[in-house]
């Protein structure tokens, strides 16, 4: 939320709306939808010794936002409201241009990378377990793996010549 406050004018962009509160001789609050202000102009008008801040929307009647006894106060209110409108427009443009979509895309990419890493690690592990990878011999109590030496039986001593293939 962007807020611009000074003297008797407080202008804020709250969600999709521009809210301006005036706390002078005649306190009031004025509100406008930011999407309706895309083609609007904010003008300063002098009439009958007073100055007014006027909102002029294309194709709609002018709307007097505030009237002041002097031009300086009206110019100041015009400046505060304009700053809030411009900052709010930037904020609304950033939100509408994919702020939410950008976060969703970042999370989707992060999840995809995580799944890719897990799949790669799983493939490597499955390859080693199923015998597709390079395996080292696992020593047993007799110094050989079961099933590789027909002379070796579990729990029986084996001569070295038989174990290392020196003789029959």
- For the chain, the structural domain boundaries read 3-103
What CA–CA distance (Å, rounded) separates 149 from 163? 7
Which tokens sit at 93?
């443009």
Which tokens sit at 23?
């706390």
* Mean of the per-residue pLDDT values of the chain: 75
Q: Report pLDDT digits (tens) over 127-139.
A: 777 665 454 554 4
Helix (H) / strand (E) element for 66: namely strand 63-68
Please state which CATH number belongs to domain 3-103: 2.30.29
Helix (H) / strand (E) element for 33: namely strand 28-33
Percent of the chain with pLDDT over 70: 70
Whether the predicted pLDDT of 1 surpasses 70? no
Q: pLDDT band at 98, cuts 50/70/90? A: low
pTM of the model: 0.48
| b/e code 116-144 from CB counts within 10 Å (16+ = b) | eeeeeeeeeeeeeeeeeeeeeeeeeebeb
Whether the predicted pLDDT of 5 surpasses 60? no
């Amino acid at each position: 939320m962007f807020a611009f406050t000074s003297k008797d004018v407080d202008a804020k962009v709250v969600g999709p709306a521009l809210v301006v509160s005036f706390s002078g001789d005649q306190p009031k609050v004025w509100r406008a939808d930011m999407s309706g202000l895309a083609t609007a102009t904010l003008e300063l008008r002098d009439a009958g010794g007073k100055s007014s801040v006027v909102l002029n929307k294309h194709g709609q009647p002018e709307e007097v936002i505030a009237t002041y006894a002097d031009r300086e106060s009206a110019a100041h209110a015009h400046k505060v409201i304009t700053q809030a409108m411009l900052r709010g427009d930037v904020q609304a443009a950033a939100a509408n241009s994919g702020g939410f979509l950008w976060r969703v895309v970042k999370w989707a990419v992060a999840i995809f990378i995580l799944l890719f890493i897990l799949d790669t690690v799983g493939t490597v592990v499955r390859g080693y377990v199923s015998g597709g990878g390079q395996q080292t011999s696992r020593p047993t109590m007799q110094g050989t793996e079961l099933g590789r030496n027909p002379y070796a039986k579990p729990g029986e001593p084996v001569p070295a010549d038989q174990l290392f293939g020196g003789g029959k």
